[in-house]
Amino acid sequence: MGISYPSKIHKLSGDQPVLQGVAMPAMNNILSKWIPVSERSRALALVYSGMYMGSVTGLALSPVLINRFGWPSVFYSFGSLGTIWFALWLKKAYSSPEHDPELSPQEKKLIMSGSVSKEPVTVIPWKLILSKPPVWALIISHFCHNWGTFILLTWMPTYYNQVLKFNLTESGLLCVLPWLTMAVFANLGGWIADTLVSKGLSITTVRKIMQSIGFLGPAFFLTQLSNVKTPAMAVLCMACSQGSDAFSQSGLYSNHQDIGPRYAGVLLGLSNTAGVLAGVFGTAATGYILQRGSWDDVFKVAVVLYIIGTLVWNLFSTGERILD
């Protein structure tokens, strides 16, 4: 049977244009200045939920817009929304609490007492950053994490269509489910992580627990796919895989701000580069594997990388600040 690659609509919804590459590092940098460590996981999970729900909205509305107004309407509609957001961002957003004129002195003191408020970074100490094992734990773990994540999100319509025999319409609707589960479980994981920190558990232990769930959860549910007997159970396994994957928001995705809050944007830029490369190579490798093997082989590779990520993360990561 020939392999049908993911649809253009689905790929467009998941791809990141070059200019969007700065968004996640900038987001991490701002959060490191605005959010105390005791609220870090919840804040990051809530922000990423916007990305997940945006994907749900895009996947749901794009076919409707294309059918009624043609494919250019998708870009005009979302581009217009982006322009409105940009205007609001320029008016309401500030780099740090001390620059926001709408905050009272008491609010500024409360926020800045639990976050970073040093002078802006003028020189990036690349050699120092790259000499730290926890930084490499972030980079390697981000690669291992995104390999499985991108494979599931990019190839899911093909899997539903070819293996579970859903038609294209059903496949498209079911592709929304992982994004919804990720939005819910990311916030659940954020609440659990911050609660553990507030009860006295070390940040290092919390990050290791949450990321271990983010690795071993998807690995477990992917291994079950070859044993399920019904399409409904297969869909449930996929949803649970992505749901447990979202615990990573309170693991590696929060860790950049832990180990180097002043360099949180730089650190996320480094690790996310590895993550994007995993998406590129993983998506291509999946097509290659499917031409010569089976979906079980695809899932086995992802499981192996999840296990490698778990080992590296638990051996070398830390929640303590290592960069000032």
User: pLDDT in tens for each of the 324 residues of the chain?
Assistant: 444 444 443 444 444 556 666 777 777 777 777 887 778 888 888 888 888 888 788 877 887 888 888 888 989 998 999 899 989 988 888 877 888 888 888 877 777 776 555 566 778 899 999 999 999 999 999 999 999 988 887 887 778 777 777 766 666 667 778 888 998 999 999 999 999 999 999 999 999 999 999 999 999 999 988 788 788 888 888 889 989 999 999 999 999 989 988 888 889 989 999 999 998 999 899 989 999 988 889 999 999 999 999 999 999 999 999 987
Distance CA 73, CA 256 (A): 38
Instruction: Report the pLDDT value the prediction gives residue 112, as an integer from 0 to 100.
Output: 73
pTM: 0.81
Give the per-residue pLDDT at 191.
Answer: 94
One-letter amino acid at 280 equals V
Name the H helices within the chain: 8-14, 23-34, 40-69, 72-92, 105-112, 126-130, 133-162, 168-174, 176-198, 203-224, 231-245, 252-259, 264-292, 295-316
Cβ contacts of 158 within 8 Å, gap of 6 or more: 3, 4, 5, 6
> From CA 46, how far away is CA 188, in angstroms rounded?
10
* pLDDT value of residue 308: 97
Cβ atoms of residues 261 and 32 within 8 Å: yes
CA–CA dist 113, 117 (Å, integer):
9
Structure tokens at 271: 């690790």
- Which pLDDT belongs to residue 168? 60
